Amino acid sequence: LVAAAIAHPSAFAQKKIVLGFAQVGAESAWRTANTESIKSAAKDAGIELKFSDAQQKQENQIKAIRSFIAQKVDVIGLSPVVESGWDTVLQEAKAAHIPVILTDRAVDSKDTSLYVTFMGSDFIEEGKRAGRWLEEFEKGKPGPINIVELQGTVGSAPAIDRKKGFADVIGGDPRMKIIRSQTGDFTLAKGKEVMEAFLKAEGKNINVLYAHNDDMALGAIQAIEEAGLKPGVDITIISIDGTKGAFEAMAAGKQNVVVECNPLLGPQLMSAAKDVVAGKTLPKRILTNETVYTQSQAVAALPSRKY
Question: How near is the Cβ of 278 to ligand GYE at its closest, in Å?
Answer: 28
For 277, other C-beta atoms within 10 Å of its C-beta total 17
Q: What is the distance between the alpha carbons of residues 75 and 20, in angstroms, rounded to a whole number? A: 6
Provide the terminal-to-terminal Cα distance of the chain, rounded to the nearest Å: 49
Binding range to ligand GYE, per CB under 6 A, among 28-36, 90-98, 170-178, 201-209: 28-36
Closer of 98 and 131 to ligand GYE (Cβ) = 131
Among 213, 236, 255, 256, binds ligand GYE (CB under 6 A): 213
Query: Considering only residues 105, 163, 190, 192, which one is a binding residue for ligand GYE as defined by CB under 6 A?
Result: 105
The candidate with the shortest Cα–Cα distance to 225, out of 259, 195, 201, is 195
Residue 241 binding ligand GYE, by CB under 6 A: yes
In whole angstroms, the minimum distance from the beta carbon of 90 to ligand GYE comes to 19
Quickly list H helices, the chain: 2-7, 29-45, 58-70, 87-95, 123-137, 157-170, 188-202, 214-226, 244-251, 266-277, 295-301
- Asked if 245 interacts with ligand GYE (CB under 6 A), we say no
Pairing assessment for the beta strands 48-53 and 18-23 based on DSSP bridges? parallel
Query: What distance in Å separates the CA atoms of residue 213 and residue 277, rounded to the nearest whole number?
Result: 34
129 binds ligand GYE, rule: CB under 6 A: no
Q: Considering the rule CB under 6 A, would residue 21 count as an interface residue with ligand GYE?
A: no
Tell me, by CB under 6 A, how many residues bind ligand GYE.
Answer: 12
Q: Is 186 in the site for ligand GYE (CB under 6 A)?
A: yes
Residues that bind ligand GYE (CB under 6 A): 27-28, 30-31, 104-105, 158, 186, 213, 240-241, 261
